Amino acid sequence: MTKLTLEKLTVHTEKSREAMGKHAAAATASLMKKILKEQNHLRMVFAAAPSQNEFLRYLRSDEEIEWNNITAFHMDEYIGLGPEAPQLFGNYLRENLFSHVSCREVNFINSTAPDAAAECVRYEALIKQERIDIVCLGIGENGHLAFNDPPAADFNDPAFVKIVELDEPCRQQQVNDGCFDSIDRVPKRAITMTIPALLSARYLSAVVPGSRKANAVFQSLYGEISTRCPASILRTCSDAVLYLDSDSAARVTAAGGR
């Protein structure tokens, strides 16, 4: 494992995707237990993507986590898919996390709400009830955080939840991940937590494996802090940690970042 700090962001790199997931889960579990010693419950946001598979598998296996004291959210969701669609992020999290643990409460974005704008208002109100303690996120191939793609990302967004149009690289990533057969099947709109909403949390933990993320990781760490690569904003967060594997860190390693 290697470690470096870029501005305020701590970056850990493991040799394998499995080791990365295990390390990130152990660190997150430790943080969850620490918080629950200080307060009687915590509020947590989870990303939903194949990139989170190993992390979630190890996290849910920790039997010392008091899930009954955790209120959970997810950070984004497609608009337009039926409630049983396996591609829905809520369904992914049910399968990979919430069916294995018993949370105090799980708050899902309603992908089939008849009024998506009203759903944003409802979900934002839930998020704002109390400060979020931990956000577990990833980074997209286009550098997005949640569904804040470069065209839609706003570091000063006044909203905490909004409707976005997904850009083509984001939609293609869903095909690359094996979630959809072709790009024409990927929804064009989604509901997402905004970047200010994500960064309002006390702690951020980003898990980013795979060679297809290498360029986005490099730009996030060494490029300009700009919405052209939304994840670059993580470098301004002192309580954020980025977990990489050797594939996603390939360009960082080549540049001598250790």
Query: Is there a domain that residue 241 lies in?
Result: yes
Query: Is there a domain that residue 258 lies in?
Result: no
Give the CATH number for residue 130.
Answer: 3.40.50.1360
Query: Is there a domain that residue 240 lies in?
Result: yes
Q: Which residue has the tokens 């980013």?
A: 208
Task: List, for residues 46-105, the tens digit of each pLDDT value.
Answer: 999 999 999 999 999 999 999 999 999 999 999 999 999 999 999 999 999 999 999 999
Q: What per-residue confidence (pLDDT) applies to 254?
A: 73
Count how many domains the chain has: 1
Query: Is there a domain that residue 226 lies in?
Result: yes
Give a three-class secondary structure readout of the chain.
CEEEEECCEEEEEECCHHHHHHHHHHHHHHHHHHHHHHCCCEEEEECCCHHHHHHHHHHHCCCCCCHHHEEEEECEEECCCCCCCCCCHHHHHHHHHHCCCCCCEEECCCCCCCCHHHHHHHHHHHHCCCCCCEEEECCCCCCCECCECCCCCCCCCCCCEEEEECCHHHHHHHHHCCCCCCHHHCCCEEEEECHHHHHCCCEEEEEECCHHHHHHHHHHHHCCCECCEHHHHHHHCCCEEEEEECCCCHHHHHCCCC
What average pLDDT does this structure show over 31-52? 97
Residue 36, pLDDT > 90, answer yes
Burial 180-217 (b: 16+ CB within 10 A, else e): beeeeebbeebbbbbbbbbbebebbbbbbbbeebbbbb
What average pLDDT does this structure show over 14-27? 98
Task: List, for residues 107-150, the tens digit of each pLDDT value.
Answer: 999 989 999 999 999 999 999 999 999 999 999 999 999 999 99
Residue 258, pLDDT > 50, answer no
Q: What per-residue confidence (pLDDT) applies to 256?
A: 65
Query: Is there a domain that residue 194 lies in?
Result: yes
Q: What per-residue confidence (pLDDT) applies to 257?
A: 57
pTM attached to this predicted model: 0.96
Query: Is there a domain that residue 174 lies in?
Result: yes
Task: List, for residues 157-182, the tens digit of each pLDDT value.
Answer: 999 999 999 999 999 999 999 999 99
Query: Is there a domain that residue 36 lies in?
Result: yes
Query: Is there a domain that residue 158 lies in?
Result: yes
What average pLDDT does this structure show over 5-34? 97
Q: Which residue has the tokens 């976005």?
A: 164
Backbone phi and psi for residue 42, each to the nearest 5 degrees, phi listed first? -135, 155
- Residue span of the structural domain in which 157 resides: 2-253
